Chains A and B, each alone.
Chain A
Amino acid sequence: MRVVVAAPQVPFVRGGAEVMAEDLVAALRSRGHEAELVTMPFKWYPGTRVLDQAFLWRLVDLTESDGRPIDRVIATKFPAYCVRHPHKVVWVLHQFRQAYDYDRTELGQFSESPEDRAARRAVERLDEVALGEARRVFATSRNVADRLERFNGIHADVLPHPPQALPYRTADPEGFILSVNRLDRAKRVDLLIEAAKLDPSLRVVVVSDGPDRERLERLASELDGQVEFTGRVDADRLADLYARCAALYYAPLDEDFGMAPFEAFLSAKPVVTTRDAGGPLEVVRDRETGLVVAPEPAELARACAYLLAHADEARAWGAAGRAVAERVTWDACVDALLG
């Protein structure tokens, strides 16, 4: 089968969604399909720009390529899933959340002006058209599926995907809490830094980069070397950090899915998250595969300290997490998407 994976790109930004799209292409190819990643840049601001950027995808003709038909399009994210194709399958990682649950919060982008309100409604309508015309809609987590149902009345089947392929291994914990997440406000890495402020013995390693990095570094500068920012790291280094950490901290606000908990689990490490983290709560279960606490620095500090002090429990929860993560395979994903 000739399959196009359609995904947007934000130039110079790389995160879980980009990794997932590339891994999907690789998984399709490994099953003998011809697969290709098709992307277009996405700039969603200011104001109504999001709409004409989304419209670009409506103009793309992916019915055939070089005279040969394209059998299926698998689109992953807004606005790539606006593309038209008679056999379009959408595997929703993200809608344009600024138009939905982020609206009227500090993470939103639409003001109260009539034009902005109407632009938000246009995104809503566009989603309903684009997802409504799909042969099938999957969501990477129950959280994403619930949001589709609640905001758009669209049913999606839940289909989680495996995390990126790393040389996963495990080692004895070396007394630090790891954060692997793009550095923007919604990921709430600041909560972990605030927790470190409350517990001078807590050591934190923050991996990745993003627009919030400067603010986070300023916040951490008040601490005495407790927080290390590594920036982006290669696969070996990342696997090594996972292997040696005591636990992963992962608590974005109402996250869609989040691959990092799966990565931690494949390294047999537990995860600390918060009750409002959304998607991660589907796999991080309190005192089974990690700790789930209120989104408060003091609670987080206590949870991290607990994991550092109770290595046996942390090891058991990490092992339980690994069993959860190992059940999610690319083979199952490909079967569902092409089925």
Chain B
Amino acid sequence: MRVAYYSPLPPSRSGIADYSALLLPALRERVDVVVAEPGRRAPHADVALYHVGNDPDAHGWILDALQRRPGVVVLHEYVLHHLIAGVTIGRGDGRGYLDALERELGVPGRLLGLGVLDNLLPLLWETQPERFPLAGTVLDRAHGLIVHSRYVAERAREAGYDGRLWRIPHPAWPMHRVEPDAAVTGDPLVGCFGFLNMNKRIPQLLQAFAALRRDRSRARLLLVGAAGERFDVARRLERLGLTDGVDVVDYVPEERLWPLMAACDVLVNLRYPTMGETSGSVIRGLSLGKAMVVSDVGWFAELPDDVALKVPVDEHEVATLAAALGLAADRAGELGAAARAYVAREHSLPHVADGYAAALEVAAGGDAVADAVLLRVAEAAADVGVDDVGPLARALVDAGIVA
């Protein structure tokens, strides 16, 4: 059985590219995979697998391929407004954008879209994408859906997706010994890895860290990642009097990232609003056995309570976060051990690749199996005068025989 695999791949700087680089070798041990490339003919295969994320530059061509041939979609995040805007407005197809909004919200959606096109409203994908996820375009073409979280599974079902759905955890990187970077220290050293922007709650993190530092003067914060547009980290640090307590490092390649992460006592990964995404950075940190502090939203909220401290996004967020950072530092050993065990149990690469192979095999041949079995059962029933085979079909589904 052959799978056509659509995904951004390194050197593309995206989490999904890293994800595929990790998954592909393990998947190839289980099924025959041919990797599709942008601008090339679609490979011949029994089933196509589309990794869909929100970045139109990385995923626009994948959405185009999905439009041409339905297949199994890996929905890495639920909110796809930016992707849809990119492949419609970004290509001069305003009508396509209006259609997508109308599909999701009816005529009011179309009117909203007109407001955006006429510059009467701010760009929805920048200001409030979570309110208008625009995943329907993708769900319509998916004849199987792979998600990483219950959160996205529930959103997809609420949006009317009623096809096959598999929840497969994000794979963890196979662990090897990582030497912590000795150049970064703190007591505790708190690390935050990923884009630095409002969505990652960096302002709240800085405030909470300032509070932590009042009690623990030797604490340091390590911010690693590219800063978002219009997000001036230096000015914010200055305002909070944190200039000598925080180290800011721009985007680092994989080989530098691991030692920096390993040097930290506590990792923090906040999010609001959530786009339904998982975080490769969180998985890396848990694999290293680090105490983790996250926002209590979406996929992050699904982490076991003994593995991550979860901070609700509410009016007490900063105070709770400051307390959580201290608590995580004090319980780093206990949280880290639970994190390691959890990742080994739920996120192991073979386990994830097995899940993919099972999903793809069912997606490719499940209908033929269902047709063959249902036909024989229905024929046998009809032979003895039973015309309503609905109960039999339901029993086949309940037994797992028909997926």
Contact = CB atoms under 8 A, between A and B. Distances in A.
A40 to B, nearest CB: 14
Contacts of B396: 55
Contact of A119 (B1, B369, B400): B369
B181 interface: no
Interface string A37-79: 0000000000110011011001100000000000000000000
B403 A122 contact: yes
Interface string B357-379: 01001101110110011001100
Contacts of B369: 48, 51, 115, 118-119, 122
A116 B372 CA distance: 11
Q: Which of the listed residues B364, B369, B392, B396 has the most CB atoms from chain A within 10 Å of its own CB?
A: B369
Nearest to A54: B401
Given A121-B403, A126-B400, A113 B373 contact: no
Interface residues of A, number: 26
Contact of B361 (A55, A58, A82, A120): A120
Contact of B1 (A54, A82, A114, A122): A114
A112 B399 CA distance: 24
Contacts, number: 77
Max count, chain A CB within 10 A of own CB: residue among B46, B372, B376, B401: B401
Interface centre among A112, A113, A120, A121, by most chain B C-beta atoms within 10 angstroms, is A121
A126 B403 contact: no
A129 interface: yes
A125 interface: yes
Contacts of B47: 114
A120 B369 CA distance: 10
Contact of B365 (A51, A116, A124): A116
Interface SS, B side: helix
Contacts of A169: none
Contacts of B365: 113-119
Nearest to A117: B361
Contacts of A128: 400
A297 to B, nearest CB: 32
A319 interface: no
Given A54-B401, A121-B358, A122-B400, A48 B46 contact: no
A271 interface: no
A130 interface: yes
A115 B401 contact: no
Contact of A129 (B364, B372, B400): B400
Contacts of A59: 392, 395
A120 B392 CA distance: 21
27 contacts: A51-B369, A51-B373, A52-B373, A54-B399, A55-B396, A55-B399, A55-B401, A58-B395, A59-B392, A112-B1, A112-B32, A114-B47, A114-B361, A115-B368, A115-B372, A117-B1, A117-B361, A118-B365, A118-B369, A119-B365, A121-B358, A122-B366, A125-B401, A125-B403, A129-B398, A129-B399, A129-B400
